[in-house]
Amino acid sequence: MTGTLVNAGTSPVAPVEAAGSGLAVRDLKVFYGPVPAVRGVSLDCRPGEIVGVIGANGAGKTSLLSGIAGLVKTTGGSISLDGRDITRWPAHRRGQAGVVMVAERRRVFPSLSVRENLAVGGFGLDRGEVDRRVQSMLELFPRLRERERVPSFRLSGGEQRMVSIGRALVTGAQCILFDELSLGLAPRIVAELTGVLRALADEGRMIVLVEQYIGVLLRLADSVHVLERGRIRFAGPAQESAQWLEHHGYLAHAGTAAAAQEAAEART
């Protein structure tokens, strides 16, 4: 799939026009009433980069991505995209500017078929282009091709997740925020998706990736941010992070440590 995306002119997404300065998040805060979820997080994601975020349950990962996408109110800090301050923009305007979040919880329009759900991502584009991008997603997810006319409420959890990932890719967004990419997906699909994400980054897109599987994260991410209780505890290049994660108990299982190290080394 990676090959088709990049080489054969069948990319589901339009080429990125010009490399800007990317996504810059500064001292971002998200509170739910008095509950602090994100307590001053800064990160940068430049065009062509995959920034990984890891953290325990409740560390604030979803809140961070939701704050960047404008899906929850931020109570402090700033977000800029290619030098434009988007901190106060509503979610739909951020979407139009190319910032899209793929939520952990599956989000599909239940009464629409798989194909229709995917096509929603191409709203505003000409029909031929939408068909081309949708087709490309059906090739990426053969299971969806088998079920393309089925109303989405009939899909399994994993299938609905494929639909929401596919729809985000159809938008051609320049900055995609993935919350738990591999959740509910078979290893074969995850392996293909890692290829797709790398290809998207190589085309100049920005990807922020929350991922519980450290092996997947280290294989993909250029840099890793570790979130603890709403704050960045560690940030650094992927190659350095495996060691840090091991020393700080994130790789408690020996097999995980070896896999993580291998994934990090495979990148050098």
Residue 204 binds ligand ATP, judged by CB under 6 A: no
Among 61, 94, 106, 115, binds ligand ATP (CB under 6 A): 61
Buried b (16+ CB within 10 A) or exposed e, 193-231: bbbbbbbbbebbbbbbbbbbbbbbbbbbbbbbbbbeebe
Which CB sits closer to ligand ATP, 60 or 215? 60
CB of 6 to ligand ATP, least distance (A): 31
Residue 37 binds ligand ATP, judged by CB under 6 A: yes
The H or E element containing residue 30 is: strand 23-32
Which CB sits closer to ligand ATP, 132 or 229? 229
Residue 67 binds ligand ATP, judged by CB under 6 A: no
Residue 34 binds ligand ATP, judged by CB under 6 A: no
Task: Please report the DSSP string for 220-261 in residue order.
Answer: H-SEEEEEETTEEEEEEEHHHHHHHHHHTTTT-SHHHHHHHH
206-210 and 223-228 strand pairing: unpaired
Residue 255 burial by Cβ neighbours in a 10 Å radius (0-12, 13-18, 19+): exposed
Residue 268 binds ligand ATP, judged by CB under 6 A: no
Among 63, 117, 152, 174, binds ligand ATP (CB under 6 A): 63
CB of 85 to ligand ATP, least distance (A): 23
| Contacting range for ligand ATP; rule: CB under 6 A; set: 30-38, 128-136, 197-205, 243-251 | 30-38
Residue 32 binds ligand ATP, judged by CB under 6 A: yes
Q: How many residues bind ligand ATP (CB under 6 A)?
A: 11
Residue 266 binds ligand ATP, judged by CB under 6 A: no
Q: How far apart, in whole angstroms, are the C-alpha atoms of residue 90 and residue 166?
A: 23
Among 22, 47, 52, 60, binds ligand ATP (CB under 6 A): 60
Handedness of CA 190, 162, 176, 54 (dihedral sign): negative
SS3 176: strand
Residue 57 binds ligand ATP, judged by CB under 6 A: yes
Residue 35 binds ligand ATP, judged by CB under 6 A: yes
CB of 57 to ligand ATP, least distance (A): 3
Which CB sits closer to ligand ATP, 72 or 196? 72
Residue 87 binds ligand ATP, judged by CB under 6 A: no
Inter-residue contact 168 to 102 (CB < 8 Å) = yes
For residues 240-259, which are near ligand ATP according to CB under 6 A?
A: none
Query: DSSP alpha helices (H): ranges in the chain?
Result: 2-6, 61-69, 91-96, 114-120, 127-140, 142-146, 157-171, 187-202, 214-220, 238-247, 254-266
Residue ranges that bind ligand ATP, judged by CB under 6 A: 32, 35, 37, 55, 57-63
